[in-house]
Amino acid sequence: MSSFLLAIPSGMPGGLDAPMGMHFGHCDIYTIVEIEDGAVKNVSTLPSVPHQQGGCLAPVQYLADHGVRVLLAGGMGMRPLMGFKQMGIDVYFAGNFPLVDNAVQAFLAGRLPEFTTDFTCHGGH
């Protein structure tokens, strides 16, 4: 049985019906989805940490500390992307989806590209 935690930056109040938070470090809340055997098993939320506490890498460490193995995001800078890779967290680009559930379903269907430098934000974030 394969299971892991997936995090999605979200607008309030979080959950599958919430809007996507397009930048992981500045989102209102994270929706945490437990995936088991390729299907959604459980959905919860996790408050976000202020971006200024520890800079760009604070949210990376925070999500890693909570057991997240995969992140779906619309945007982030190069530094946090490298931080996620160092932590063993896979990051996928989901910036084309308005709702968390749309992004999760696209991920489960294998339709999201892995996040690369082509998707990173510029200007130091």
Does residue 125 surpass a pLDDT of 50? no
Q: pLDDT for 53-107, tens place per residue?
A: 556 788 899 999 999 999 999 888 888 899 999 999 999 999 899 999 999 999 9
| Residue 63 near residue 89, CB atoms below 8 Å | yes
Torsion of CA 60, 6, 23, 100, to 10 degrees: -160
| Average confidence score pLDDT of the chain | 88
Residues paired with residue 32 on neighbouring β-strands, in sequence order: 7, 44
Q: How many CB atoms lie within 10 A of CB 64?
A: 18
Q: How many CB atoms lie within 10 A of CB 93?
A: 20
Which pLDDT score is estimated for 124? 40
Which pLDDT score is estimated for 24? 76
Counting residues of the chain whose pLDDT is more than 90, the rounded percentage is: 66
| Residue 69 near residue 88, CB atoms below 8 Å | yes
Nearest-Å Rg of the Cα atoms of the chain is 13
Q: pTM, whole model, 2 decimals?
A: 0.89
Report the alpha-carbon distance of residue 14 to residue 114 in Å, rounded: 23
| Residue 31 near residue 10, CB atoms below 8 Å | yes
Q: pLDDT for 11-53, tens place per residue?
A: 999 999 999 987 777 789 999 999 999 999 999 999 998 766 5
Which pLDDT score is estimated for 123? 41
